[in-house]
Structure formats: structure tokens, C-alpha cells
Chains A and B, each alone.
Chain A
Amino acid sequence: MPPTGLEPCRMNRKKGDKGFESPRPYKLTHQVVCINNINFQRKSVVGFVELTIFPTVANLNRIKLNSKQCRIYRVRVNDLEAAFIYNDPTLEVCHHESKQRNLNYFSNAYAAAVSAVDPDAGNGELCIKVPSELWKHVDELKVLKVHINFSLDQPKGGLHFVVPNVEGSMAERGAHVFSCGYQNSTRFWFPCVDSYSELCTWKLEYTVDAAMVAVSNGDLVETIYTHDMRKKTFHYMLPIPTAASNISLAIGPFEILVDPYMHEVTHFCLPQLLPLLKHTTSYLHEVFEFYEEILTCRYPYSCFKTVFVDEAYVEVAAYASMSIFSTNLLHSAMIIDETPLTRRCLAQSLAQQFFGCFISRMSWSDEWVLKGISGYIYGLWMKKTFGVNEYRHWIKEELDQIVAYELKTGGVLLHPIFGGGKEKDNPASHLHFSIKHPHTLSWEYYTMFQCKAHLVMRLIENRISMEFMLQVFNKLLSLASTASSQKFQSHMWSQMLVSTSGFLKSISNVSGKDIQPLIKQWVDQSGVVKFYGSFAFNRKRNVLELEIKQDYTSPGTQKYVGPLKVTVQELDGSFNHTLQIEENSLKHDIPCHSKSRRNKKKKIPLMNGEEVDMDLSAMDADSPLLWIRIDPDMSVLRKVEFEQSDFMWQYQLRYERDVVAQEESILALEKFPTPASRLALTDILEQEQCFYRVRMLACFCLAKIANSMVSTWTGPPAMKSLFTRMFCCKTCPNIVKTNNFMSFQSYFLQKTMPVAMALLRDVHNLCPKEVLTFILDLIKYNDNRKNKFSDNYYRAEMIDALANSVTPAVSVNNEVRTLDNLNPDVRLILEEITRFLNMEKLLPSYRHTITVSCLRAIRVLQKNGHVPSDPTLFKSYAEYGHFVDIRIAALEAVVDYTKVDRSYEELQWLLNMIQNDPVPYVRHKILNMLTRNPPFTKNMDSPLCNEALVDQLWKLMNSGTSHDWRLRCGAVDLYFTLFGLSRPSCLPLPELGLVLNLKEKKAVLNPTIIPEAVAGSQETVSNLNSHTQLIGFQNAFSNSQEEEEVDMDTVHDSQAFIYHHLNMLERPSTPGLSKLRPVSSRSALMPQHSPGCDVTASAKPQWGVDMSRKGIGKEQSLEMNMLSVPAAPLSVFSKEPSSSKHSDHHHHHHHEHKKKKKKHKHKHKHKHKHDSKEKEKEPFTFSNSPASGRSVRSPSLSD
């Protein structure tokens, strides 16, 4: 219920306090979303929203909201028609007359465009003018109800329709629709304040076909038939204040399953999948119990819903009281491999219910707290469910990932603090995108960001103990739940928002510990630590001399100062030492405890108290050191390269009980191909008690060692006898036992060993015939009839093993690959692949794992020259209509083909798919794969790199991907990989070679002519580029050569300004002419706009007050669509008498606002100076509604 008559909240507390300062001059308390009609055939949605807002300032006369894609028919404020403008600068980031092609320019412009509509800065695409009749009302800070009618036609983002093309009604066809998107993307499907920090209560209504179910947030209050009984309306109430960004929807003919353990939890899946749903969700209640127990807090919402949908945007998406999953997570009881993965997804989504949905964030820079906490408690769940080994393995994996990423790209910053928005203060200048907004982030960066966030939470836990950590979480939750129950005290709701400072304050209150240095190191600063360690044992002093160096100059690194734990395993036991890493001290002396040389009788105590017998003959007789570990608890985000002798690594592998240590030693042993290493690895492989992942890793290491030792290797190929002993029949060792996967550890080992064995090579660098025969026999004798589990993953890995055994073909004079000269071994492999692939058509395996492996294997054969390289097969498997895993595998092959064969045609085919494929995930994935395996890179000469491609990609990221943040960022990543930050080298030089610098009265050579290497700073080049371009339009416009950095907004503005001028000069009075103007093509980018909106675009809106104040995005106001209902009374707008007098010049005002000490000047100074007051009174131009498709000339245009 909307609060009534309350004192509007005003947050005027000082900054840094955890109080929340709303960027908006009003407080939203309640929102109604009503979707009356959903048409699956046309993929359209019609509805309205009603926002209840309380002004917090007296002179509130404009309300900015977020809305994208929506066609807005009509806006009423307290039942009075209201004028509005709709302006989305992110639709087209750089205007198309610009021939700018450098990424630096784009990224800045993109960040500016996103800022211009950023709800966290109080901005929005939709600006509603409060009718003058209500001004008095507003002055009294009384409630306003903003009612917006909208529709959505063929949305390309935000809502995803899946409509299978089969016979029957929509419900029979399994058609469904669901909301999706990256970060706050709710604005794509209804107008709202799309911010995580603007909380309100919700009433949601969806009218759907009677055979369908609408699942949304909050409690389903009732379901009512429409009068014709053909439709039902689902009424939802969400009394817990929630951000619009956490609102979601899924509609489809779902099967409904009430959780047998928790009746307030309901699961939904697509028709026919109910048995899978039952099995998949049968575990969820345990996750619930776990979280509620550790957080000592009940699940905050009164119900929970899981929906499994096809063509999901991401595998897991958490929203208030519901989560949307990919249907591909469903599995039956026979599937082993998918089970832990799916459970992890469920647990992850549930963790985000507490932190992310219920507790929201104050601003983007606080995102890390939420991701950190939800990731951290998810980790605790993992520890409990899969054990400490799995947990530590996961932590190591995540740590390795983040370290690799940071070292590659130069750092991930968790808590960016932005100064004046100046380029210099940009904390992420090493990146090709801005980290100021979630929507400008590269997807990979965001993934790594989340990974780092939970690792840092773990560091905090190490510092303050888990108990305190959980207390902090509990405190946050109980504060939030108290606040959420304050139905009429909306100012209290900000307690439900978490901020970095609030979180840190809680930590210090609860634990009494100062974690500021830790925060400064890992949160306020990017980069990881790179240690190099080596040691020497001083026999005389019985001291271990440890040298630890750091690399803090490479990109992505930082200097670490502070404690560092070192564990030394000696003969007499294991000892922990805490070293202080300081500025200049590299050497650390650690006294050794073991005086005794060698007492063979004695057992050696390990860290965990265990005492073991060891064969000490391999040791250095003079040293009591068995092994040394630096930072064994991973309490620093670091990479350690430590040097110790091979026997130490071997001891560490055999006797250290920590799986992380074992994995580290396995990696290190790769460099020591000796019989002793071989023995250590074989022993580990055989050891049943050893963690299965360690054993799997040992397989691959053993294969590498065997290859290095190929000339001295004795006995059968590595692992063969071991495998035979473990998995083959006693009586006939060449035949594998019939499958029995009851023991998962052995199952994983059995799956992995052949894959690793296939990597073995003989002296001719060929896979030994014996190994190939062995694998072929495994396939031949595979018998799963008695097994309770499916063997699809096992068979798939056998195909992977076959692929691994393939070595490059011996090619004679580049002969064409034909069947006749096919290698007999390859013939056997191909025989198997053919049979497997064909059998899949008749008896498909779960998730088509076998098809996926076959496709990969075929690509391997192609690449190695056994089979003619040809993408046709893959292209047919990549088509829409295949299972997504198959498509991705096929696309990966096409991407690889594009690179290897430098095929322009295939690249075009891929780009086409990026633009047109119906599945957002596939589009994203293609970009991602192209970025990882690019057809060429920026420093490479490639026939593929040409101007058309640059234009194409530019267009893609500039305007082609405006409906999907993730996709656009993916396009930016690809552009960066292909061309780098500056203007692509394959572009011809701009036409103008000279730049007039009016300020300094000299002409300089256009910097783009200067080869890239010569041009000192890329940035300078790019900025100047932008000006060069401008000169094409207006030579009076220039910039100081020395000015190293130009405010991009300014550039942006000036372009817009010029463009506007041109536009005005040729402004057609008839709509028809507008088609000739290049500008008009913009409308093509907004498919929902009818042709009539060209007229709209040309009608100059003279109202751009807020934009000019913000200094961003005003060029869009030129083409801004003034929307209103055709029938709306015009009198609403006649409030400003100046309206009709306002001439064409008025819109230039947006230049004057540049109080930002801009150096550049231009000739076209306006005569009209507007003071701010005048701006407020800027007339409201009104033309037509793009939705109506009709053009209504407003009086203001008639002059």
C-alpha cells in the first residue's frame, strides 16, 4: 500500500555517513504494473504503470523516469494529461555523421550516454512535465500519481519471447516469455525508476491466456477470470520495498510443482519436463535450511518461486522472491555431472535472494558488497555440501582466475570512487571501457568482479572470524527486515540498502577490528600481488633463508605490505611462521626446529597432527626441510612462484594434506620429468583417499611428464596398467568392466584418464598405437546396460580422448585431403565419430554431450589436416533450432575456422548471426568466442581487416546492440581485440590532412596521418581525431593542440550542435524530405517508431533544460521524440506564452551551460543567453506520438 500523508524523507546527512541521499527530487513509494495484454503471435505487450511519488523539493516540475523500447501513449499525473519527452542517448552512441572509429572516443561517449540516463544520478530517458495545475500541489509536497500507458512491440531486450513454430495454441506450443537482462534492465519492459536504490512496494497484474501462468514477484493474491473466461488475471502484491530492477516476470504454460518440503515454494517448468523438475528441485529445501541457519534469519519473502525457461539470458537470474533459471539445468536422476552444477546454481540464486534482492545496494560502487556476501555465503554452502576439499579447490580456482585476469587486463577495482568525472581520475584508465556504470562493463570484467568480491569477503572473514562475519550479515538483514516492515515510513527503507561504508561500519562495530588496510588494499585499489619465492638453507645457523620478491610494476599488480604466512614442513613437524612483508626487506630468516639429522625410526608429524612414515632417501641429507609453502591459506590475492627442489614438490604432493598444496605441487612437477615425479604422481593416482580432482589433475601432469621422458620411458604407456587394474576385468585386461558409476570419484577418474592418456606422444610425436587401440577398445566394450546412471558424459569424454590423440597429418605438397590418403588410424577414429554422431540422431544423449564432442573432434581433424577444412557441417549445426550446447560448439568451430582460414565469408556469417539470432545468449557467446579467438588482432596484417568490417562493427556497437547492455559491451570487447583503442590502421586517412588550430593560429598535420607508433599518446590522437571530424562540418571549430585531454562531453556536444545546425538548414517542412537526411536513418534504429517519427525527429524540441544542466546527451534532444497522445489537450502546453515565439535558435542554449571551463570555442555563439530561470521555463514542444504513427503538428512548430 502506498504510504499516505507522511513526511517526505529528505536525506541531507553528510556524505560518508551511511545515510542514503536520493539523487531524485522525489521519493517513490509504490508502483503498479499492469500488463493487460500479451500477444505471443506478435510478441507484443500492452499495459500501464502507476507510480506513487512524493516530491521532496517544492519546485519539482519534472519527473525523470527510465524507459527503453517502450512506446508511451499517454502520461497522466493525478489524472491530468502531462507532456513528456523521451530521449535515449544510448540508442546511438556516436552520431552517424561522425567518422570516428576509435574506441577511446566511443567508450567515453558511451559512458556519457549511460550517465545521461543513469537513475543513480537522477536521470532518465523519460522526462515528464508536471502539469502546471499541480504546481501548487507539489509545493505542498503532496502525493503525485504518475500514470503511464505503454506498449512494447517485438522487444529485442528486457523481455524475451520464446515461440516454437509448431501446430497448436500458444500454450500447446510451449510459448513463453520472461524478463531478462544484465543488471538493472527493467526499464526495457516497463517505465520505472530503474535503480537498485529506489525501493517501493509493488502491485503487479498480468492478464494472460487461461492456459498460461504468470509468475512474478511477491504473493499471488488471487487469480480471476476475465469476463469472457478466456483469460485470467494474476494479481501479485509485493509488500516488501523492492527496487524496480529486481522485478521480473515469466509467463507460459508452466507445469506447477509445489515443493513437497516447503509449501510456500513453488517450482515451474515447461510442459513435459515435470519429472525432471521434481528431481532437480528435490534438494532445494536443504539449501534454504542452510542459509537460514547460518544467517539466523528467515528467508525474507513469504514465498519463493523458481521458473525454468528456455533460451535463458543467463543460467541463473535472481529477482525478488523468484529466480529464473535456464531449463537446461533440469536433469534426471541418471545424470551425474550436471547434478552438482545445477545445485550450485540453485544455491547461488538463493544466496542472492538475501543479498542482492532483499538487501539492495545504494550505488554501483557498493555492488561488490552484495556480490561479495552472496558469493561468500554460497561458498560456505559449498563447503558444507561438497566438503572442505571442494571448497578449497574452488577458492584456488577462483583465485587463479582473478589473478590471471588482472595480470592480463590490468586490474579489477571493487569500489571505484569517481572524482569530478575527469579522465585523470579515472581509476580504470587501463581498460577500454568505463567502470563507472555496470552497463559499460565488459561481461568478463563483471564476472571477475564478482569473483574478486567473494574472495575479498573471505579475506575479511580470515581477519575477523566467521562468527563475526555472520553476525554482520545478520545485523544487515535484521535492520533491513525491520525497515521493510515499516509500511508507512518510506524513509526507513533506505536501511535496506547496503553501502560500502555502512558495511564497514557494521564490521567494525561487531568485531571491533580495524580492517581499513585490508579494504584499502583489495577494495579501493585494483591489482593483485605477484610473489617470487626462493630459499636457501643455512646449515651452520640452522636457518631457512627465504627470499620473497614482488613484482609490482607490471600491469595488474600491486605492492603488498603486511603479514604473510609461511608454512615449513620439517622433519620434526610442520611450523607456521608469519613474516612481515615490508618495503625493502626481501630476505627472511626462519629458524628451523629440527636439529636432528635423520632419525629413521621416527614418524614425521604433519600439520593436521597425523604422523606418517616417509621414505626420506630422496632428501638432501643436510637439510631438515621437506617442503615450504607461502601463504597456504590464500589470505592474499596473489600469485606465488616458488622455487623448491623436485623432491620437495614430490613430498608435498604425497604428504601434504591440503588439496591446494597438492594441486600446486602437481603443476610444479611438470617441470621435473623424472622417474621420481612419475612415481609420486602414480601413487597419488592410485590413492583412493586422495581428492578426486587432484587425481584428475595428476593424470594430465603424468601425461606431460611421460612425453618429456619419452626417450627413457619404460613399461607400458603411462596410466595404462593403472587404468587396467582399476577399471578392467581381472580375467581379460583388455576389456573394461561394465559400467558402474556408483562411486563418483572413480567415475570421474575413469572418465579423465583416457583423455589424459590420449595426450601421450611417442618419439615421433605421434600418439602411440597402443593408446589409440586402448581407447577404441574402451569405446567398443563400453556397456552401460547394468548401470543406474547415464554414460553420456563418459562416452563424450571418450570422443574427446580420440580427438586428443590426433596429431597433425603428414602433408605432401599440400595435397588435397581426400578419403584415399586418409591415415588408417584416423579412419578408425572417424568411423567412431560417424557412428556416435549418427546414433545421436536416433538416441540423443542428455544435453547432446556426444554431439558436442563429435563436432569438436571433427574440427580437430580438420585443423590437423586429416579432413578437408570446411565450415558447412558446423554451420548447419549452428542454426537456430538445435540445442544450445550444440550450437555453441558448432559456432566455436566456425569461429576457429574463420581465424585459421581467414574467411571473410564466415566472419560475415557470424556477424550476421550476432545481429539476428533469436537467442540473446548465442549472440553474446559468438562475440565472446570471437574475442577469445579473434580472426586477427590489432597488430596483425590480415586480409579480413578492412574498412567495411570496421564500419560494420562500429555500427554494431554504436547502435546495433542498444537493446542489450551485455551484447554491446561484448561488441566493444571485440572491437578492442581487433583494432585496439585507437583508429583502426586499415582505415584510410581522413580527408582533411590539416587541422586549423585557431587558438594558436597555426595549422598542424592531422594527427591521424602520423603513424600510430609515432603519435605519442593514443588518447591525444583520438581526441584530436574527433575534432578533425568536426572540422569537416565547421572549420571554425578547433581545439588546442596541447590540450591533452578533451572532455568528451564537450566533443559530443559540439558535434551535436553542428549537426543540429545542419539539420536546421535543411529541415524539411514535409515529412517526405526527411528521408533524404542522413539523420533520419536513426529512426530505423528504433523499430518501434513508425515512419511518422521522422517528423518528430525533425521537429526541434526546445526543451532541454535538464540535459543542458547535466551537460550530457543534449544532442539527442535534437531528435528527441516529443511524445504525447494525439488527442491530448494542447492547452497543457500553452502554459508558457513564449512557446510560439521560441525560434530555432533557442535550442543552442545547451552550449552555454558549459561552465565547465571548456577551452574550446566555436564561432556559432548564440545570441541568446539563457539564465537558469529561463531554462526552467523553456517551452514544451509537442509533436506527435510515435506510437500513434500519426503526426500532429503542434502550435509551436507553426511559426
Chain B
Amino acid sequence: MRSGSKQATTPADNYYLARRRTLQVVVSSLLTEAGFESAEKASVETLTEMLQSYLSEIGRSAKSYCEHTARTQPTLSDIVVTLVEMGFNVETLPAYAKRSQRMVITAPPVTNQPVTPKALTAGQNKSHPPHIPSHFPEFPDPHTYIKTPTYRELVSDYQVLREKAASQRRDVERALTRFMAKTGETQSLFKDDVSTFPLIAARPFTIPYLTALLPSELEMQQMEETDSSEQDEQTDTENLPLHISVDESGAEKENASVLQQNTSLSGSRTGEENLIDNPYLRPVKKPKIRRKK
């Protein structure tokens, strides 16, 4: 619970503060009733806290009992059971309530229930259909369960689509290359101007053929889509630190590449795969005789 020292700002805080103050008054009067002249603030606070806990526990338990019996509103019996459960002698209660020296305190000032911020009210709450008893909770706001299709009119115009794709790509490319040019070295075609047509400076590669021949990652993806059956089988023979690979899948693989020509795949050859005897695949021999030096 909030401590009173805290600056209360919201209406909810005010509400709780008022309740607490009432409890304090109750505690004080009970103390007076018991014959105390004065009390330290701390002890009053403690007692208030205990009282509040006690009351809260009664409320919570009562609610549980009530829900246990599938009701929504606690009844007196719920309270009684709760009190019994908590070890309170219910029999003594009427006598205590009617004691002579009891002090009557004024009703707490009416403070507004904290307003739960109104959730988006979208449309009318649906009323219960006939098969649902009216005591059941109301339906939540429609927006929580009603689907509202919010698409725009489908752009089915091919031209616009292509246009859009093209300009998008162009913008991306342009922005990217400009960025690269801005952040790196550039060359220019005009002596007086370096920014209008900035060319990213040519940089030699150490192994130029790799970038030139190998497809870019983008293209690789595409390639995988077209023939995913291709697998590179790389076997490291124990002696050779080389990548020796026998293209065994080659025969089966669909030869997507063939220039409009049907490679006649000879199935008969596939059987020989295991018998490949190629001198380059043989293991390297150990030196024969170790000469002494």
C-alpha cells in the first residue's frame, strides 16, 4: 500500500488516501476507547496497517468462497465462513457491536471511485445472447474480438507495381552507392565537381578472378532455388590437405545448364562410381627407404 507521505496526485491516490485516513480514525478511536491518552504516530500506523490487512484478508477470502460457489456477489454466509476460518469467534460479534462505550465516527467523505480509463469504445457492446444468463459478465468491447479488415484497395495495376518496384530498387541502389561514395574514396569525371556523379574509386583485388567469376550471394540464392540438388561433396583424404571431390551427383543431377541440348545421361556409368581409379585420388606414398645422413 502506498505510504501517506507520498505525494498523491492522481484521483486514485486520493481515493486510497481517504480510505486510509478513515482507518486511522477508527484505530485512534479504538485506542481512545481502550483508554489511551496519546499514541505515537508509528504505532498508530502499524495498527492501521494490521487492521487494513485484516479487513483485506476478510474481503479476499469472502470473495473466494463466493466464487467457489459460482456466485459473483459474496453473501453473509461467505463472510461468516471466512471469519470462522480466520479463527474469529463470530458469536462475540453482536455483543461487541452493541458495547456501550463505542465511539461513533463520521462516515468517510465521499470520494470518487478511481475512474478506470475508458478503454477504446468501438461500437456498441453486444448484449448477451439468450442462452447466456444475464448475470454473466458483459461482453468486452467489440474491438477486442471483432476483426476489422483494414486493407486498402488491392493495387492490381501491373504498371504501377512495376513502376514502384523499379523506382524502389533504383532509390535503394542510388542511396546505397551514394553512401558508399560519400564514405569512401571517389573518382570524378569532372574536375570542378565531385559530388554529382561520384564514382566509387577503383580498388584492385588481390585475387581478381574470384569476384569476377563466382556468382554473388544474391545470385547464389537464385541458383539454389533452381537446382538445389547439387551438392558439393568434399572429402579430405587423410593425406591430402586438398579438396578432392568426385562429382558423383553429377550424373543424376538435372543439368539445368545445357544449352538447349539434352545431355544424354548415361545411366550405365553411374554404377562405376565406387570404382573410380584416378591417380590423383590415390593416397600419397610414404618415402620408401629412409636414407641415413
B222 interface contact, C-beta 8 A: yes
Select the residue from A256, A303, A838 with max chain B CB neighbours within 10 A: A838
| A883 and B211 contact, CB distance less than 8 A | yes
Q: In the assembly, what is the distance between CA of A328 and CA of B256, in Å?
A: 21
Shortest beta-carbon distance from A817 to chain B in Å:
7
| A781 and B202 contact, CB distance less than 8 A | no
B190 interface contact, C-beta 8 A: yes
| B242 and A253 contact, CB distance less than 8 A | yes
| Total inter-chain residue pairs, C-beta < 8 Å | 244
Contact among A256, A257, A882, A885 for B202, CB-based, below 8 A:
A882
B291 interface contact, C-beta 8 A: yes
Shortest beta-carbon distance from B71 to chain A in Å:
64
| B173 and A839 contact, CB distance less than 8 A | yes
Q: Which residues in B have their C-beta under 8 angstroms from that of A286?
A: 263
With contacts A260-B248, A732-B159, A788-B222 known, is A838 near B206, CB below 8 A?
A: no
| A883 and B209 contact, CB distance less than 8 A | yes
Q: Which residues in A have their C-beta under 8 angstroms from that of B246?
A: 257-258, 260
B91 interface contact, C-beta 8 A: no
Question: What class of interface size applies to chain B in its complex with A?
Answer: 35 or more
Q: Which residues in B have their C-beta under 8 angstroms from that of A877?
A: 202
Shortest beta-carbon distance from B109 to chain A in Å:
72
B13 interface contact, C-beta 8 A: no
Q: Which residues in B have their C-beta under 8 angstroms from that of A273?
A: 210, 213-214
Q: Which residues in A have their C-beta under 8 angstroms from that of B87?
A: none
Q: Which residues in A have their C-beta under 8 angstroms from that of B165?
A: 783
Q: In the assembly, what is the distance between CA of A735 and CA of B160, in Å?
A: 10
Q: In the assembly, what is the distance between CA of A839 and CA of B284, in Å?
A: 46
Query: Interface code B268-293, partner A: CB below 8 Å = 1, 0 otherwise?
Result: 01001100111111101111101100
Q: Which residues in B have their C-beta under 8 angstroms from that of A884?
A: 208
Contact among A261, A327, A744, A819 for B209, CB-based, below 8 A:
A327
B37 interface contact, C-beta 8 A: no
B207 interface contact, C-beta 8 A: yes
With contacts A260-B248, A867-B189, A872-B187 known, is A227 near B209, CB below 8 A?
A: no
B97 interface contact, C-beta 8 A: no
Q: In the assembly, what is the distance between CA of A213 and CA of B237, in Å?
A: 14
Kindly specify which of B23-31, B100-108, B175-183 makes contact with the partner chain.
Answer: B175-183
Shortest beta-carbon distance from A859 to chain B in Å:
11
Q: CB-nearest residue of chain B relative to A879?
A: B204
Q: CB-nearest residue of chain B relative to A270?
A: B209
Contact among A283, A327, A838 for B263, CB-based, below 8 A:
A283
Q: Which residues in A have their C-beta under 8 angstroms from that of B287?
A: 224-227
With contacts A838-B181, A883-B211 known, is A213 near B280, CB below 8 A?
A: yes
A310 interface contact, C-beta 8 A: yes
Shortest beta-carbon distance from B96 to chain A in Å:
85
Q: CB-nearest residue of chain B relative to A844?
A: B211
| B258 and A255 contact, CB distance less than 8 A | no
| B223 and A333 contact, CB distance less than 8 A | yes
B150 interface contact, C-beta 8 A: no
Q: Which residues in A have their C-beta under 8 angstroms from that of B196?
A: 819
Question: What class of interface size applies to chain A in its complex with B?
Answer: 35 or more
With contacts A263-B277, A838-B177, A873-B199 known, is A333 near B206, CB below 8 A?
A: no
With contacts A842-B177, A882-B208 known, is A834 near B193, CB below 8 A?
A: no
Q: Which residues in B have their C-beta under 8 angstroms from that of A1171?
A: none
Query: Interface code A615-627, partner B: CB below 8 Å = 1, 0 otherwise?
Result: 0000000000000
Q: CB-nearest residue of chain A relative to B234?
A: A274
Q: In the assembly, what is the distance between CA of A880 and CA of B205, in Å?
A: 9
Q: In the assembly, what is the distance between CA of A380 and CA of B282, in Å?
A: 37
Q: In the assembly, what is the distance between CA of A556 and CA of B246, in Å?
A: 53
Select the residue from B162, B176, B198, B257 with max chain A CB neighbours within 10 A: B257
| A260 and B250 contact, CB distance less than 8 A | yes
- Chain B residues 241 to 275 lying within 8 A of chain A, measured CB to CB, are 241-248, 250-251, 255-261, 263, 266, 269, 272-273
- Chain A residues 795 to 830 lying within 8 A of chain B, measured CB to CB, are 817-819, 830
With contacts A282-B255, A282-B257, A735-B162 known, is A847 near B213, CB below 8 A?
A: yes
With contacts A781-B166, A838-B200 known, is A276 near B255, CB below 8 A?
A: no
| B259 and A340 contact, CB distance less than 8 A | yes
Q: Which residues in B have their C-beta under 8 angstroms from that of A831?
A: 197
Q: In the assembly, what is the distance between CA of A841 and CA of B202, in Å?
A: 8
Q: In the assembly, what is the distance between CA of A225 and CA of B285, in Å?
A: 6
| A790 and B215 contact, CB distance less than 8 A | yes
A1072 interface contact, C-beta 8 A: no
Q: In the assembly, what is the distance between CA of A165 and CA of B205, in Å?
A: 10
B226 interface contact, C-beta 8 A: yes
Shortest beta-carbon distance from A308 to chain B in Å:
10
| B189 and A830 contact, CB distance less than 8 A | yes
- Chain A residues 851 to 886 lying within 8 A of chain B, measured CB to CB, are 858, 861, 867-868, 870, 872-873, 876-877, 879-885
| A211 and B242 contact, CB distance less than 8 A | yes
Shortest beta-carbon distance from A233 to chain B in Å:
9
| B174 and A835 contact, CB distance less than 8 A | yes
Q: CB-nearest residue of chain A relative to B250?
A: A260
Q: In the assembly, what is the distance between CA of A202 and CA of B193, in Å?
A: 65
Q: CB-nearest residue of chain B relative to A255?
A: B243
Q: In the assembly, what is the distance between CA of A259 and CA of B227, in Å?
A: 20
With contacts A839-B173, A882-B202 known, is A225 near B286, CB below 8 A?
A: yes
Q: In the assembly, what is the distance between CA of A831 and CA of B173, in Å?
A: 12
Q: CB-nearest residue of chain B relative to A264?
A: B278
Q: CB-nearest residue of chain B relative to A212?
A: B242
| B199 and A880 contact, CB distance less than 8 A | no
A330 interface contact, C-beta 8 A: yes
B212 interface contact, C-beta 8 A: yes
Q: CB-nearest residue of chain B relative to A253?
A: B242
Q: In the assembly, what is the distance between CA of A732 and CA of B158, in Å?
A: 8
Query: Interface code A935-978, partner B: CB below 8 Å = 1, 0 otherwise?
Result: 00000000000000000000000000000000000000000000
| B232 and A731 contact, CB distance less than 8 A | no
| A223 and B158 contact, CB distance less than 8 A | no
Q: CB-nearest residue of chain A relative to B273?
A: A260
Contact among B158, B187, B200, B222 for A731, CB-based, below 8 A:
B158
Q: Which residues in B have their C-beta under 8 angstroms from that of A517?
A: none
A339 interface contact, C-beta 8 A: yes
B170 interface contact, C-beta 8 A: yes
- Chain A residues 552 to 601 lying within 8 A of chain B, measured CB to CB, are none
Contact among A227, A279, A885 for B257, CB-based, below 8 A:
A279
B192 interface contact, C-beta 8 A: yes
| B257 and A339 contact, CB distance less than 8 A | yes
| A846 and B212 contact, CB distance less than 8 A | yes
- Chain A residues 257 to 299 lying within 8 A of chain B, measured CB to CB, are 257-261, 263-264, 266, 270-276, 278-279, 282-283, 286
Q: In the assembly, what is the distance between CA of A279 and CA of B278, in Å?
A: 20
| A334 and B222 contact, CB distance less than 8 A | yes
Q: CB-nearest residue of chain A relative to B284?
A: A223
A729 interface contact, C-beta 8 A: yes
| A843 and B204 contact, CB distance less than 8 A | no
B218 interface contact, C-beta 8 A: yes
| B189 and A781 contact, CB distance less than 8 A | no
| A781 and B204 contact, CB distance less than 8 A | no
Select the residue from B197, B226, B291 with max chain A CB neighbours within 10 A: B197
Query: Interface code B39-80, partner A: CB below 8 Å = 1, 0 otherwise?
Result: 000000000000000000000000000000000000000000
Q: Which residues in A have their C-beta under 8 angstroms from that of B219?
A: 332, 334, 790
Q: Which residues in B have their C-beta under 8 angstroms from that of A276?
A: 213-214
26 example contacts (A-B, Cβ-Cβ < 8 A) are as follows A174-B207, A223-B279, A223-B285, A225-B285, A225-B286, A256-B244, A258-B280, A260-B248, A260-B251, A261-B269, A263-B276, A272-B210, A273-B213, A283-B263, A328-B209, A332-B214, A333-B223, A334-B223, A343-B259, A780-B170, A790-B215, A842-B177, A870-B191, A873-B202, A881-B204, A884-B208
**In the complex, given contacts A261-B266, A273-B210, A883-B212, what are 15 additional A-B residue pairs having Cβ atoms less than 8 angstroms apart?**
A211-B241, A224-B284, A255-B242, A261-B269, A273-B214, A283-B258, A334-B223, A735-B163, A818-B193, A835-B173, A844-B212, A868-B189, A873-B199, A879-B202, A883-B211
Q: Pick the 8 closest A-B CB pairs, nearest first.
A: A881-B204, A838-B177, A333-B257, A220-B279, A260-B250, A732-B159, A883-B212, A819-B193
